[in-house]
Structure 1
Amino acid sequence: MGTDLHDQRYRAVEARDPRFDGVFYTAVRTTGIYCRPSCPARTPRTENVQFYASAAAAQDAGFRACRRCRPDTTPGSPEWDVRADVVGRAMRLIRDGVIERQGVDGLAEHLGYSSRHVGRMLTD
């Protein structure tokens, strides 16, 4: 890849620019992880970065998907925004009376998270 293109893409990663999500993917040699350009994780050093045109290409090169930005998911899917999905499910369960019957621990069990984690998702 040309130095100019690499530099442009790296600047997009530094800026966490969501306009480039899906245009290219950033893979970090030292961690073995690939991300979206808008990933909130710490910006990798430029010498450790490779860019790929697709998530599949990054996976084929041996990188795994980042657990923070979920580059292997589709925008708008429940997997894309886990917090919104969990909060929506929690609200439905609360409306259905799970809290009254089983308490917060029961709600957390239904959702598959710890009660502490559910509390954080509902209050943030």
Structure 2
Amino acid sequence: MNGRPIAAAGTALTTFLVVAVLVTELLSARIAFSAIVALPIGVVAGVIAGIATWVRLWSRPALRPVLLGGSAVGYALLVAAAASYAVPPARRFVSVWSALGFAAVCGVAVFAFVRLNPERFSR
């Protein structure tokens, strides 16, 4: 399986989410609409991380479990947000902490799977 596009897009998504949330929280005391500043910064950081994963990082086999595990975190957060939005009964179960826990479990599981089966992600 060619995991390069999956890792690049997932790393970009995870980086975007982490940077946007951190910058929003850091600026919230000083700027009322800190998300307006944080979202473009997150997009730029995500694009840089995705390009770096595609061009340089994927060629190092030792980094592939980390890249795919980190990518799974972004995908899992996206799934949790989509479930909370699209399935009204799920809204009372999906909180920030439950979504983060779900994402952490998914990231560790993917990391372990790729670490145990590196030949599946050799390209």
TM bucket normalised to smaller: under 0.3
Which of the two has higher C-alpha Rg?
1
Q: Which has the higher contact order (CA 8 A, sep 6+)?
A: 2
> Relative to total residues, which structure has the larger helix share, 1 or 2?
2
> Relative to total residues, which structure has the larger strand share, 1 or 2?
1
